A and B are shown apart, each in its own frame.
Chain A
Amino acid sequence: MTNEELVNYFDVQLFLPDIQAKTKDELFEEIIDQFVKVKYFKNKNIILEMLHQRERLGSTGIGKKIAIPHGRSTSASDILIAFGKSKEGIDYDAIDGKPVHLIFMIIAPPQDENNMYLPILGKMVEILNKTKNRNKLLQAETFDDFIEIISKG
C-alpha cells in the first residue's frame, strides 16, 4: 500500500475539519450521520453497534491525540474512510488517557476486493506514528491540505 493508493480512499464529503462532539458516543453519531447524509449507509444503528463492539475489545484511541475507530460491516459495500478534527478534543478513553483531536474512521465491507482493509489500517498507523504528520494534520484546514499531507506522509 503506497501513500498515493491510500489517498484514493478519501472523499471530500467525509472530510470533517470541525467536529463538535465532546464524547466518543457523540463523535460516532456525528461521523456516521455524515455517512448517512451522503448515502453511504441506510441503517446507522448497525454501524454504530459494530463500532461500539470494537471499543469493547479495546480502545481505538491509540494515543498522541489520535483515534482510528474501525471495523468491517455487512452494511458497507466499499471501504470508506472519514477524517475528523476536533479543536477542543474528545473524551475518548484513549490508551494514554488524553483527549483525541484527529479521527480516522475506517469502515470496510465483509469482502473487499484485493483485501485492502488491513493494509489501509497499517498504512494509517505508519503515517500517524510520525510527529511531523500529526502536527501538520492538526493544522490542515482544507481537503487539499489534508490530501497533500497524506500523500507525502
Chain B
Amino acid sequence: MKKKQLDLLVALQDLDMMIDEISEVKRLGFSADREEELLKARGELVSKIKKPLLYSYEKLKKRYKRAIVPVKEDNTCLGCFIRLPTSLSSIGRTDESVIYCEGCGRILYWLT
C-alpha cells in the first residue's frame, strides 16, 4: 500500500531529529557511527515526497526547527498551543491531506 504523504513527512522529521542529536547521543556512550546510513535513508524518503510539500517542510524546519507538530486530544497545537477549530480536527483525523496550523503555520499531526 502506498504511504500517505503525511506519514512520509513524519518519518522524515523523526529522521531529521535523530540526525540532529547524533553527537549528544554519542557523548552519552551510545553506538551511533553510521550517520551515512541515516543520510541514505533520508534520501530515499525525500524521493517519495511531493516537491511542494518537501519545500514547505524544509522552509518550516528552517524557521521553527520542527516543521510538524503533534495535536493533542483536546485539539491543542503543541507548537503554539492555540486551540484548533473542531471542524479542522475532524478533517485532520480522517483526511489524508496535509493541514497547517492557523496560529503558527506548522504542519499538524493528530495523535488520536
Contact = CB atoms under 8 A, between A and B. Distances in A.
Interface of A: 39, 41-43, 45-46, 49-50, 53-54, 56-60, 62, 68, 70-77, 95, 109-111, 118, 121-122, 125
A58 B14 CA distance: 16
A79 to B, nearest CB: 13
B11 A62 contact: no
Interface of B: 7, 10-11, 13-15, 17-18, 21-22, 24-25, 28-35, 37-38, 41, 66, 68-70, 72, 78-79, 109, 111-112
Contacts of B111: 41-42, 75, 77
A76 to B, nearest CB: 7
A71 to B, nearest CB: 6
A17 B32 CA distance: 28
B109 A56 contact: no
Nearest to B76: A77
Contacts of B69: 74, 110-111
Given A58-B34, A75-B109, A53 B14 contact: yes
A57 B35 contact: yes
Contacts of B22: 57
Contacts of A71: 14, 17-18
A50 B11 contact: yes
A95 B109 CA distance: 35
Contacts of B24: 118
23 contacts: A39-B112, A46-B7, A46-B14, A50-B11, A50-B15, A50-B18, A57-B31, A57-B37, A59-B31, A60-B31, A62-B29, A62-B30, A70-B25, A71-B17, A72-B14, A73-B14, A74-B10, A75-B10, A77-B78, A109-B70, A110-B68, A118-B24, A121-B28
Nearest to A51: B14
A144 B105 CA distance: 44
